[in-house]
Amino acid sequence: LRLDNSQGLLTFRPRASKTFEGKTTATTAGVSSALRKVQTTANLSFGRLRLLPTTYINGSITDALGVTTSEKPVVIVDDFAAAVSCKSTAATAGGNASAASKSWSAKLYYYRDTNDNGILDGGYQLVSLSSANASDPLSGISPSNNVLVYDGATNAQDVYLFEGPGKNGYLQTWSSVVGQNASIDGTGRVTQAAIDSAIRVTTAPTNPARADSSLDIKIGKLSCESVDKR
């Protein structure tokens, strides 16, 4: 697979602004207040996650800060942000109605060699991911619709994004979630929201001699619940 053993298989790239940040909050307002509430939130964000660094990739990616860097991994998740919020007010209508929400977004890059000509001339491809998507964009890039990553001198040396019959590959499956659950009960006293792993990636075995050396990666699992029984 031509992985770079001098680097971790999964790493975060430091940035001037932030590398990784997670936060939860819980707030209340009294029952006599016009803004009565019980509210909980959870947030997660990170700059860049790098998966499966190689010895041959040398591609450029520009981040949200406008900084361009040279990268070597097969897959990169950039500018990830996820948030859930649950607010229970014991009301389902009006100016202080209960509310539940969830959202997430990220830029996913994967390396692809578009010309099967025995020359290393690929580049990173961008897939914009979001909970607002009507369907999963990653479903169109799969073992049945495979793409070349490492273009060897012979076909036997080629490595694809997904492993398959007669093909070496880096991944087994990947997916992103769309929609996700957010609910308010009939009284406005119980609100719930959840993101059940926004992005999921299962790699092929990173050591061909060890079938148990694959990685199962789940990014962005958040949930909240607020209950106001006062």
Lowest-pLDDT choice from 17-26, 130-139, 220-229: 17-26
| 5 part of a folded domain | no
| 81 part of a folded domain | yes
For residue 104, give its domain range.
10-227
Average pLDDT over residues 9-35: 89
CA distance 204 to 215: 7
pLDDT the model gives residue 96: 97
| 4 part of a folded domain | no
CA distance 214 to 226: 37
- Number of domains composing the chain: 1
**pLDDT tens sequence across 75-105:** 999 999 999 999 999 999 999 999 999 999 9
CA distance 174 to 203: 8
SS3 of 10-46: the string is EEECCCCCCCEEEEEEEEEECCCCCCCEEEEEEEEEE
The CB-side HSE value for 132 (13 A sphere, CA atoms) comes to 7
- Would the pLDDT of 17 be above 70? no
| 2 part of a folded domain | no
- Would the pLDDT of 18 be above 70? no
pTM of the model: 0.92
pLDDT the model gives residue 32: 96
pLDDT the model gives residue 48: 94
Cα 140 to its chain centre, rounded Å, is 16
For the chain, the average pLDDT equals 94
Contact 207, 9 (CB under 8 A): no
